[in-house]
Structure 1
Amino acid sequence: MLSANIQAGSSTRRYSDYATRSWSHVLPMGNKRLSLDTIAQLAGEHDIVGLNESDPGSLRSGFTNQTHYLAQRGGFHYWSHQPNRRVGGVASSANGLLSKLEPVEVVDHALPGRIAGRGVLLARFGDDADSLTVAIAHLSLGAQSRASQLAFIAELLHDHPHAVLMGDFNCDIDRPEMAALFRRTRLQPPAQAVPTFPSWRPQRAIDHILLGDGLTHHHARALPAAQSDHLALSLELDVPARAIRG
């Protein structure tokens, strides 16, 4: 399983790039296709991938749906995306799902917040009541908005032992809003936080893959997602057969 904020294929290697390379976030330049090919190679080594900041087909991506492109290049038969933010008519952003397993249901939900444009993409694998449920989200920068977003997600996942919540949370695991999420669901805090941001000198663990208490994992690690400002987070997930059986 892999969670990756791909920054729409843009390159950020230092803080100054946010200013000096800001054009790359709105224009179809800067070897984005090469970055996507590198990300596709990494994604293809996993069975289920959650994406944040995947452009669904605006000017900056050359009108390429990046989730679809990564699905094709990475060998995924199933994909879905949730466009949730437009920037000045020239850039757009989406959560995305890539899967080698067939989901029985994919639903997207808008998340609450002071500024609209955040969402959670929910995929269910298997017909059992305890089926594997994967939620992909990109949360707000503000603590108050994050708290309301996590409360919404908690309602969706509150009693699922085989739930996975992954994405860019924009906060560390020890924040009060995260503690509230763990109280309201069967999701468990990770045994060890893995720093993912900034990618060139990772100091903060703000990208997470959280698992319900019916799941176990191995080998959590951070990996480069081409030249994104976030490292991708990878782990090996042990899933009971009944949770993905159709």
Structure 2
Amino acid sequence: MPVSDALVSLVRMTPSAPAAAADTRAAERRLHLLSCNILAGGSVRRYRDYVTHSWKQVLPTGKRANLDGLARVIGDFDLVGLQEADAGSLRSGFLNQTQYLAEAADFPYWSHQPNRRVSRLATSSNGLLARWQPDEVLDYPLPGRIPGRGALWARFGSGADALVVLVAHLSLGPAARARQLAFLAELIGQHPNAVLMGDLNTSAQGKELDLLYTRTSLVRPKESPATFPSWRPTRAIDHILVSDSIEVERRWALPHPVSDHLPIAASVRWPKSLRALTA
């Protein structure tokens, strides 16, 4: 599905608290990024939990306490991308988890993109928490045989100096991922300052992402911390990818008991020409 045929919608970036003045990190052109598949606030500590604790996936038991713990971690970051955040259903106690995390961690702005709803039992969405107000936020459905995947697109600033941030959660199947990666490549294009973060369900070093690296300004990372499964991570499938104009000082996985994925973090420096976050 080409971008021109996508059902794109404008997403409101909701203020959750008064916006704070630019902090020291902005003055130093440093940005702290985090991406996390939060499994709707659930926790898994071994493979058999998927079966023996399956009832927890449809009930809110323990999820708010897990989110409170996560909020204490994400408060140190500037932009946070969420995947598998519940938008308000039975399994979350009808709580919009993106909004809850934004308010608990004192993020001035948040937005979410509900992608899949199973009656009143469960919803799944991407989310973005930000210290700065974006100039535009868009909601794109991703192509796939089974609907329910999406990309949340945000722009900070305008023109060539803008920063474009995408949050996405890709399919498990390689054929669907290939179509989704082609779609993301079209969304990003040759924009010089771009960030893609999310659960991509594939390695950043493999051939699947070559299409992104050849068609966009994104570059292959030098290191890819393992994030899955959270209790003994062996697979690097959660990523923060940036354009070659953005210097990555460090990438690392954060140990945390929420979800079956570890959050992935990155500390980056943006180019002097990029004024989107300091204006």
| Correspondence list, 1:190-229, <5 A | 190-229=221-260
Contact kept? 2:251, 2:264, Cα under 8 Å: yes
Q: Does 1:24 align with 2:40?
A: no
2:216 pairs with one of 185, 195, 199: 185
* CA offset digits 1:155-175 (Å, max 9, x no partner): 011111210000000111233
Unaligned runs of 5+ in 1: none
- Counterpart CA distance in 2 for 1:241 and 1:67 is 31
Aligned to 1:15: 47
| Correspondence list, 1:1-246, <5 A | 1-29=33-61, 31-243=62-274, 244=276, 245-246=278-279
Amino acid at match of 2:189: H
Query: Following TM superposition, by how much is the alpha carbon of 1:96 offset from its aligned partner in structure 2, in angstroms?
Result: 0.2
Query: Following TM superposition, by how much is the alpha carbon of 1:241 offset from its aligned partner in structure 2, in angstroms?
Result: 4.8
- Counterpart CA distance in 1 for 2:247 and 2:55 is 42
Query: Following TM superposition, by how much is the alpha carbon of 1:224 offset from its aligned partner in structure 2, in angstroms?
Result: 2.7
Amino acid at match of 1:207: D
Query: Following TM superposition, by how much is the alpha carbon of 1:17 offset from its aligned partner in structure 2, in angstroms?
Result: 0.5
Per the alignment, in what secondary structure is the counterpart of residue 167 of structure 2?
Answer: strand
Amino acid at match of 1:176: K
Query: Following TM superposition, by how much is the alpha carbon of 1:181 offset from its aligned partner in structure 2, in angstroms?
Result: 1.5
Unaligned runs of 5+ in 2: 1-32
Distance 1:19 1:183, change over 3 A: same
- Matched residue pairs, number? 245
- Counterpart CA distance in 1 for 2:95 and 2:256 is 18
Contact kept? 1:162, 1:212, Cα under 8 Å: yes
Q: Which moved more, 1:170-179 or 1:72-81?
A: 170-179
Contact kept? 2:71, 2:104, Cα under 8 Å: yes
- Counterpart CA distance in 2 for 1:12 and 1:226 is 8
| TM-score with structure 1 setting the length | 0.96
Query: Following TM superposition, by how much is the alpha carbon of 1:226 offset from its aligned partner in structure 2, in angstroms?
Result: 3.4
Per the alignment, in what secondary structure is the counterpart of residue 176 of structure 2?
Answer: helix
| TM-score with structure 2 setting the length | 0.85
Query: Following TM superposition, by how much is the alpha carbon of 1:128 offset from its aligned partner in structure 2, in angstroms?
Result: 3.4
Per the alignment, in what secondary structure is the counterpart of residue 60 of structure 2?
Answer: coil
Query: Following TM superposition, by how much is the alpha carbon of 1:42 offset from its aligned partner in structure 2, in angstroms?
Result: 1.0
Per the alignment, in what secondary structure is the counterpart of residue 129 of structure 1?
Answer: helix
- Counterpart CA distance in 2 for 1:160 and 1:223 is 29
Amino acid at match of 1:14: R
- Counterpart CA distance in 2 for 1:166 and 1:225 is 18
Query: Following TM superposition, by how much is the alpha carbon of 1:140 offset from its aligned partner in structure 2, in angstroms?
Result: 0.1
